[in-house]
A and B are shown apart, each in its own frame.
Chain A
Amino acid sequence: MSSPVPQTIRLRVGNRYENIELVQAILEEVLEPLEIDDESRYWMDIALREALTNAIKHGNALDPRKKVEVALEVGACAIDIVVEDEGSGFDPAAVEDPLAPDNLLKTQGRGIFYMRKFMDKIEYAFGAAGGTKVRLHKKFGGACAGAEGDQGGTDED
């Protein structure tokens, strides 16, 4: 299979949970021709869902007037999924460990953990005027294996 043609797809969607399915369908379409195994596709889908959920629910506080911007940046050997909200930001370091015994039975607080587990790297950035931007990075397998150096399994957030 030939290397994917680098491209970036940008979306600006309303702040509604229904749009998670829309963005997920577009990601599926983007990934379809790429040399990515089914497991990776599945976990990328979950990571995207978590990023969008955080943007809609926590970042934009379910405000229907706000928007979520998404960029799907397909490179030769990796994809970056960038999700940005219009909220007031947060401190990733303040997020509690969902594996701590006292947190195991909490009903929330696992989204960022899942993103870290399912992607190769996640990074947060915060705009001067507010907003949280999360970048989820996943390298492709197959012929691209090792093309980016030994980054697999890291999470640098």
Chain B
Amino acid sequence: MKIDKRQRDGATILDLQGKITIGEGDVALREAVHEAIGAGAVNILLNMGRVRTIDSSGVGELVAAYTTVTNRGGKLGLFGLPKRVLGVLQITQLVTVLDIMKDEDEAVASLS
């Protein structure tokens, strides 16, 4: 799992690439989100466009990130989800609670 961090219009965007699976991507995601928060990030957007696979541990990390950010008064959004990754979230009805947007522009606009 490779994660790049950048800023746009006051949001911290994490570009994720690879697998969000147990023992690898899940830990990397957790650390990246906590690092961003530690650096002062309030609103965080996860670019999921290049996430190939996600398992239940990865889903758990998404939920943990969402809870952590929202409990601090911020917003956490996801965008660009590949069809199968979106399917994993749909099956467990997480699309009803997580903020999932089609693309980056929509995700950034949702924060204003």
Question: In the complex, which residues of chain A have a beta carbon less than 8 angstroms from the beta carbon of B76?
Answer: none
Tell whether, in the assembled complex, residue A53 and residue B57 are in contact, meaning their CB atoms are under 8 Å apart: yes
Contact size range, A: 20 to 34
B contacts with A: majority SS: helix
- The reply on A66 being an interface residue by CB < 8 A is no
- The reply on B43 being an interface residue by CB < 8 A is no
Q: How far is the CA of A86 from the CA of B63 in the complex (A)?
A: 30
Which residue of A is nearest B84, CB measured? A42
Given that A18-B23, A98-B92, A113-B92 are contacting pairs, would A50 and B56 also be in contact in the complex, using a CB cutoff of 8 Å?
A: yes
Q: A residues touching B (Cβ–Cβ < 8 Å)? A: 17-18, 20, 39, 42, 45-46, 49-50, 53, 57, 98-99, 104-108, 110-111, 113-114, 117
List 20 A–B pairs whose Cβ atoms lie within 8 Å, in order of A's numbering.
Answer: A18-B23, A20-B21, A42-B53, A49-B55, A50-B56, A53-B56, A53-B57, A99-B93, A104-B92, A104-B94, A104-B97, A105-B63, A106-B63, A107-B64, A107-B67, A108-B60, A111-B56, A113-B92, A114-B55, A117-B91
